[in-house]
Structures are given as C-alpha cells and as structure tokens.
Structure 1
Amino acid sequence: MPTRKDIILLAQYNETMNRQLYDAAATLPADEVSVDRGAFFGSLLGTMNHLLAGDTIWLKRFSQHPSAFPALAPMHGMPTPTGLTHSFGASVAELREHRLRLDGVITAMAAEIHDADLEQVLVYRNLSGKEFQRHFGDLLLHFFNHQTHHRGQASTLLSQAGADIGVTDLFVLLPDAALG
C-alpha cells in the first residue's frame, strides 16, 4: 500500500510531467498534434484527450471516498465523460485549461490524504455500470500509473513530430537522502 508521502510525490510528478508535455506540444503546429501516428488513441491530441477523460472519470469516483476530500468538490459539478475518447477540445490550448484544473485538484487532494484514507475501500462503478470495490491506495497507484503509461506514448508521439519533452524520469523529483 502506498503512503501519503508516495501519493504527494506522484501528484507532484504528474503535474510536472503534464506541464512539460503541454509545453512541448504547444511548440508544434496544430496539424501536427492531430496527425494519426498509430498510437492507442491515434494522435497526440487524442492521447492527451484520453488522459483528461480517464483522470476526470477517476477523480469523480474518488470524490465519493468516505473522507470527502474538500479538494475534490469541483468534481461534483463536472460532467462525467461518456467514454475514454471524450473530447475536451480540438487544440492544445483548449486541453491545457482542463489539464491545469485537474492537476490542481490532484495536487490538493494528495495534500489532504492521510495514510488511513489509503486503506479504505472505495466502491465505484465503471462506465458500463459494473460495481467494483478496491482499496483507495491501490486505485491511486493505478491512476498515476495510467497517466505515466500514456504520457510515455505522448512522449514518443512528440519525438516523432520533432518536439522534445525533456527528462521524464521520476528520479529527478526524488530528494537526496542525507548521507552519514
């Protein structure tokens, strides 16, 4: 089970990498971000939209956690995407607005979590209505892993288009341990 400290680090990593992703994508012409390059969701824009859809769906589920994290309150008024290819816009600039909103929610939620919250079971339904029960900490690990997985694809798509996202290793955010 992850700890509160792990979740805070992963939220920080998520926000940092999304900033790098969007900054790199913004350097490309509009037609380059929508070129189908054969990725799971076709284009860079499709991949970025998918990340927004997945994150929105999970955050809405997380807002049902028994601890009722205040940071997740904005999710209550946000519509649930109807699918994993839901579009949040047709440009990097349009997507960035929603991305910044979600990353703010994620970072604030991470700061509110206590270790005991991670052990609690969250009951939720998938988009088909099937019910699941999982430990919240395990779901958060999936949430962050899903983001990393698709950002890796986005990084490849950026590279194919001639843009550099920069260093994407979690290692760069790990603090130096005191020696001695």
Structure 2
Amino acid sequence: MMPKLKEFSTMNLREHAVLMAGYNRWMNDKVYAAAARLPHEAVAEDRGAFFGSILRTLNHLLAADLIWLHRFARFHPTRFEALEQNRTTAPPTAIDQLLHDRLAPLQAQRSELDARIEAWAGCLTDADLDHVLVYANTKGVVSHRDFGGLLMHFFNHQTHHRGQVTTLLSQVGEDVGATDLMLLLPQHAPD
C-alpha cells in the first residue's frame, strides 16, 4: 500500500524529508517482501555486490541508518524526541557490521526503524534544518556539515543501496515492482 501524501505546490526541504521518509518505508516494505519469497541461502549468497549478498546489503543499510540517526540524535541541539532510542543506544561500529544473519529479525528492526524515521521527519522544522552538525565518522574524522544536506545524503544513500538490492533480487527472478518516487507524488489537475 502506498502512503498518502499531501499535495505540495512547492516543496521545501522539510516537506521533502517527509516525502523521502515515506518513500523509504514504502520501498523497504517492497524489498523485504521480495527477499522473503527467497530461501535463506539465496538471500545470503555472495553475488559480488558492494556488500556481497542481499542480506549483507540490507544489513549495511540498517547499520548506516542507525549510525546517522545516532549522530543526528546526539549532536543536533534539538535533541529530537523521536530519536531518543538512537541517542541512548550505541550505534554499529562499522558500516559493514552484520547486525542480523537472518532476514526476519533484520526486517523487524528495519520496520521499527522506518516508523521512527517517519515520526522524526514529521517533527522536523525549518530551523532544525538550518544548522551545521559537528560529528565524527566511524574512523574518528570530525566533520562540520550542513544538517539539511546530511539529511538529503541520508535518504539518497538508502535509495542508492536499495537500487543494488532490487538488481540482485531481479537477477534471481524476484520483481520488486515499481520503485519510482514519482508514484508517491500527487497528480495535479491540468490548468
């Protein structure tokens, strides 16, 4: 089921974050449903992708999201209430960390996190986005970056690696179906 979104005549960055959070959940639901139709061995098989298998790529997406949300929760002055669990829970220590070796628990954590991302995106304000976030990456390198830009990176990264997963699924005969963000945009009446 596609999420229902309000019509945007002009979309600001906050509205775009809400749109992308809905797209993230919608696509993850589709990807995990397709992966669940495969035997575990097919999901875990190394297929030569950046992170090897479908399972490891999905683990990477979850690990990266947890790392970014931890940074957003700890280092942004708003201290987003929707991200309280991310603030108080240690994030993965590496982007290739295997968080779950089976699809079902990975999917359960992904689903819970997607709901949290949607709640958080819905609470963002324009003032929240106009901030420089100071954080360290997993190697300890400190960066000072525009939070709004980091937010766009967060969602773009998800789309990038889900594209890899949809290709891997397609190669084993599983069709995820339509994936275009355009499908979530409202149709406008002609002038």
Q: Same fold per TM (> 0.5)?
A: yes
Q: Compared with structure 1, are the counterparts of its residues 2 and 134 closer, same or farther at alpha carbon in structure 2 (3 Å cutoff)?
A: farther
Structure 1 residue identity aligned to 2:97: H
Determine helix, strand or coil for the equivalent of 2:143. strand
Tell me the residue number matched to 1:129: 140
Deviation at 1:48, TM superposition (A): 0.3
1:51 aligns with 2:54: no
TM-score, normalization by structure 1: 0.96
TM-score, normalization by structure 2: 0.91
User: What are the within-5 Å matches in structure 2 for residues 1-180 of structure 1?
Assistant: 3-64=13-74, 65-180=76-191
Contact kept, 8 Å, 1:49 with 1:95, in 2: the verdict is yes
Percent of aligned pairs with the same amino acid: 52
Whole-Å separation in 2 of the counterparts to 1:54 and 1:151: 13
**Which runs of 5 or more structure 2 residues have no equivalent in the other structure?**
1-10
Give the length in aligned residue pairs: 180
CA RMSD of aligned residues (A): 1.3
Structure 1 residue identity aligned to 2:67: I
Determine helix, strand or coil for the equivalent of 1:103. helix
Determine helix, strand or coil for the equivalent of 2:150. helix
Determine helix, strand or coil for the equivalent of 1:158. helix
**Which runs of 5 or more structure 1 residues have no equivalent in the other structure?**
none
Determine helix, strand or coil for the equivalent of 1:164. coil
Deviation at 1:101, TM superposition (A): 1.8
Determine helix, strand or coil for the equivalent of 2:27. helix
Structure 1 residue identity aligned to 2:176: I
Whole-Å separation in 1 of the counterparts to 2:15 and 2:166: 27
